[in-house]
Amino acid sequence: MDTALFRQLLGHLRVIYPEQDNGPLAGQLLAAMDLDPASPAPPGHQNLWSQDDIVLITYGNSVVDEGEKPLVTLDKLLTGELGQCLTAVHILPFFPYSSDDGFSVIDYVSVNDGLGDWGHISKIASHKVLMADLVINHMSSRSAWFDNFKRRRDPGKDYFKEASPDDDLSQVVRPRSSPLLTKVATEDGDRWVWCTFSSDQVDLDFANPTVLLEFVRIIAFYLEQGVRIFRLDAVAYLWKVPGTSSIHLQQTHEVVKLLRTLVEHKAQDAILITETNVPNRENLTYFGNANEAHVIYNFSLPPLLIHCLLSGSCRHLKTWAMSMPPAQNGTAYLNFIASHDGIGLRPAEDLLSEEELADFVATVSRSGGLVSYRRKGDEDKPYELNISLWDALKESVSGGDQQWQLARFLCAHTLMLGLEGIPAFYIHSLFATENDTQKVALTSRNRSINRHSWTLEALRTSLSNGSHHQQAFEALRHLIQVRRAQPAFHPNATQFTLHLGLQIFGVWRQSLDRSQSIFAIHNVSNQPQVLPLSSINLVSTDLWFDLISGQLFGDVQQELELAPYQCLWLSNRDYGASD
């Protein structure tokens, strides 16, 4: 067997498993994906997205209705209230699980019966691009594989990473403060297993090629069920070696490249996205040379954007935006401000000072937020802030300005929608859900604060009674519909950061065909700001207007007074809203 695809797989496998003959394994991987070795290579540097694309992030049961499976209720929302708001939906782990709200998977190929079944999943995939988690780093201690590990039987006997307390684990980078190793009683004695996240989430051992083969089979199954975007959860920790940091190792990157090769040969519209909640420079490495992840999360955006609006200064946001390399064609950033997790602080390391981080933590805590910690050496460091986005933007660092909460909230999303990349909305951001402190008390988990479960009746009431939920949702829906129609907001369209002082953040976007320009302008402070239009070099022969309000600007030399948190999308062309 000597085809381009087979040779490509061998190239990946030589890096991952240099000590073995990889020919048989390459053949097994092709068979697992039902791929012809002569399959042609997909077109290179192909953008699988456009300005029309918006992603929703949700649990299968974020909204429930009595008497029906939550996935049925979700489907009603996707075709109803949210029908014009998104093109893709990321349903957070919908498999049987034992902890961590789904991220401790018991069975990768079953749907949690409390949510629905594969028929419900496939129905959603028939009208929305479906994104699903491949929880690839670890598995539940209550899974059949781990039960076999304890019984010393196949499959599973050698599927989990083992280490010894005597190993040099001092350099291992930890995302949690829990013990790294857990002692497990097995039928041939005690063993120590590697647990990056918790004792219930046991790390898999990809040094065993059979584990890689198992996950390729899982990917093939997900493709059959309609999944088109694969979120590689916690993939940075995939390969572990005592005496090293056990994060971002070469083999980890090569596994992602191998999965990309297999997936794009099987389904040219499929996308890999890496979930690597780490400092920005490390996160960027998962693009590879446009041969690794198609998409990476813009993890630095949430802490920097929220800090910007709380501090009233865009200094750090602007510095970061200027330093971000444009994504090559065939790759893109996923922009988000909130998710099912908290506001990650690691991506802001080296960007915010210790004093600024302390003020940030104090402000969020004052608004009802909680703090989660990770272990670094002998001390616990803040890892993430747990709070709903609505409450995170309640008041600024200086305090006493809660009257601007809605304006701050909308400014955050308007800014995010204008940046290079694909926008993603957590469902509780779309609905401006408050902190769920009752759920925290019930679960004793900080992250539960932003994992509220609405009843469909209560949600529909809140979206029609003039509440802040309705105001926020209707404003966001308008922004989304306007944005989806503008070529200058293509995820790969040109972006330049403007220099408009510390209180006004602005970027210039230009469409791929250079026909449309948009100046996205945002007052990030709680004070009015004056913007001379001459400072953004509007072409005088063009007619300029604000896509958000429809206001026309005939005099490109005039001065604008921006209200607190006011935003403008100044454009020379309007392609109309998508609705």
Name the binding residues for substrate. Answer: 100, 138, 231-233, 340-341, 447
The DSSP result for 498-549, as a single string, is: ----SSEEEEEEE-TTS--EEEEEEE-SSS-EEEEGGGGT--TTS-EEETTT
CA–CA separation, 250 and 248 (whole Å): 7
The DSSP result for 246-277, as a single string, is: -SS-HHHHHHHHHHHHHHHHH-TT-EEEEE--
CA–CA separation, 77 and 127 (whole Å): 12
Cis (ω within 30 of 0) for the bond into 179?
no
Q: Are strands 544-546 and 504-510 parallel, antiparallel or unpaired?
A: unpaired
Per the annotation, binding residues are 100, 138, 231-233, 340-341, 447
Contact between residue 97 and residue 103 where contact means Cβ atoms under 8 Å apart: yes
Stretch (H or E) spanning 423? strand 422-426
Cα–Cα separations (whole angstroms), residue 292 to 210, 218, 254, 260: 22, 19, 8, 6
- The neighbouring-strand residues paired with 227 are 130
The DSSP result for 537-551, as a single string, is: T--TTS-EEETTT--
One-letter amino acid at 278 equals V
The tally of CA atoms less than 13 A away on the side-chain side of residue 47 is 17
CA–CA separation, 56 and 425 (whole Å): 5
Distance, CA of 82 to chain centre: 19
Q: Burial of 273 by CB count in 10 Å (0-12 exposed, 13-18 middle, 19+ buried)?
A: buried
Is residue 233 part of the annotated active site? The answer reads yes
- Selected catalytic residue, list 233, 391, 436, 546: 233
Tokens read off for 199: 């004792």
CA–CA separation, 152 and 146 (whole Å): 9
Catalytic machinery residues = 233
